[in-house]
Structure 1
Amino acid sequence: MDVQVRSSPAADAAARPRVVVLVNPRAGTGIGGELSTGAQLAGFELDVVVLRASTADALARRARAEIARGVDALVVQGGDGMVHLGVGLVAGTAVPLGIVPTGSGNDFARAAGIPRRDPGRAVESIVRALRDPAAGVRRVDAMRVTVEGRTVWAANSVNIGFDSVVNRRANE
């Protein structure tokens, strides 16, 4: 899919916090694609880049490129899978991760106290944290997991395939 950019006029852009938003349009059986987190954030005078892609790997590549250009925050809109992707992108950096939960479970958001059924409130919390990091940014533990030479970061859970086996069997 195309990269969508919403930004302030070039003259003001340097003074505004730069935020990259990753969107999972299939989160919560489709609600993720219907919400406009990027537009909401741009309304708070932020320089916003919204990224969508057909695969998580493609989305991660685009996000890494944007992060390398410099961002003040990475925001994920979706469920726990998007949180996992975001954690992997910002772990070990100074870039904060904002979460707009639009998935079906939103386990991480629930545990972190992020508004799960009100994306607008989640966006407002992100904006408050950008304006005053001491008031809204907190550190969380993350796990670095290496299996067969591949390393990933996780902050919510680590699955080893058992849940897939259970789901497959339940659906037979």
Structure 2
Amino acid sequence: MRWWDIEPVLELERELFPHDAWSPALFWSELAHARGPHATRRYLVAEDGAGRVVGYGGLAAAGGTGDVQTIAAARDHWGTGLGARLLTALLTAATDFECHEVLLEVRVDNDRARRLYERFGFETIGLRRGYYQPGNVDALVMRRPAGPAQDPATGHAPDPATEPQGTTTHG
């Protein structure tokens, strides 16, 4: 993700998470930690063949632990495997950061995302009450050991050159 991706990412963020969307300042802050020799973040976007941002994701790394900060796919790309490709890229980033484990939070009412994470070996380890504000929605805390990132549905890491729907990801 680059600075010029922030506005289209924010549009998608507001569409998908209208009650608890990230602010522009939060994205800018995260990107400030994503470059240079001491980077602790990896943010990426997925674009369709027309250059429209159709997904994004971000990972923070510290002390051997990766944390999936955000991941989203446009509704018209649900069911295409885009979420799995984004998650695979974030898990690869966790390996690059030499993380031993990867954590994330997911809304208890987001069954689609929870199923994706479970497919990738994440297990629920806790509950954060009222985590998502202002709706006061609980979050499940999930964890998996870091390791080879592959989509369990295909048994291998996706090849960006052959991604379906003409989507490409870049950081």
Query: What TM bracket, shorter-length normalisation?
Result: 0.3 to 0.5
User: TM-score, normalising length from structure 1?
Assistant: 0.33
Structure (1/2) with the larger strand percentage: 2
Structure (1/2) with the larger helix percentage: 1
* Larger Cα-atom Rg: 1
